[in-house]
Amino acid sequence: MRSSDVYPSKYLKSEELDNDLTLTIKSIDLENLESKDGSMQEKPVIYFSEIQKGLVLNKTNWSLIARQHGDESDDWPGKKITLFVMDVEAFGDIVSAIRVRPPRKTVPKVEGVKKGSEVEQDGELITKYWLSVKAFGLDKKKGLQILADNKNDFANALRFLESDDVPM
């Protein structure tokens, strides 16, 4: 059982986040919240399209979002942010806090270009190809042309280099 089960809150707490959470900003509202000394303070709360709970925005998180999407919060709805938990020093103690970072960018798939993970698997083949290009006295431009002519397949390009058909 978590504290959020026993003491439900309208606002997101660090113990409720198990992993990074990428969300779309729906709105930013000013709400009256009780401070540690019992007085009421108006604070910004950010709400998201994907979840019901809001996140009370401290100055740090406001600044992190402003760095990504500009300081005018009226421009934030529709923008994405990623929430994560980290330990921070607060009030003389180390506590878990929710922080903001830009969502990870996805690299579009480009036909004929291998991703890093695919290149690592063929690392020896790629190295052998480029060493062969160099051994034949060909420049990078010619090596890239041979690779392109072989549909960016290093194995086929290497076979071509090792054949007797290589135009020098």
Give the pLDDT confidence of 25-69 residue by residue, as tens digits: 999 999 999 888 889 999 999 999 999 999 999 999 999 999 999
Whether residue 116 has pLDDT greater than 70: no
All residues at 6 or more sequence positions from 134 whose CB lies less than 8 Å from its CB, including other chains: none
Of 49, 53, 45, the C-alpha closest to 4 is 53
pTM of the model: 0.59
Lowest mean pLDDT among 3-12, 28-37, 116-125, 150-159: 116-125
11, 45 Cβ separation under 8 angstroms: yes
Copy the structure tokens of residue 149: 């002519």
Q: Which helix (H) or strand (E) holds 164?
A: none
27, 77 Cβ separation under 8 angstroms: yes
Whether residue 168 has pLDDT greater than 80: no
Domain ranges, ordered by start, for the chain: 3-101, 116-162
Distance between CA atoms of residues 57 and 158, nearest Å: 57
Ranges assigned E (strand) in the chain: 21-34, 40-48, 55-56, 80-90, 93-101
pLDDT at residue 75 in the model: 95
Residue with tokens 């809001």, as numbered in its chain: 54
* Residue 25: strand, helix, or coil: strand
Copy the structure tokens of residue 1: 């059982």
Residue with tokens 């929430």, as numbered in its chain: 83
68, 81 Cβ separation under 8 angstroms: yes
Strand order in the sheet with 40-48: 55-56, 40-48, 21-34, 80-90, 93-101
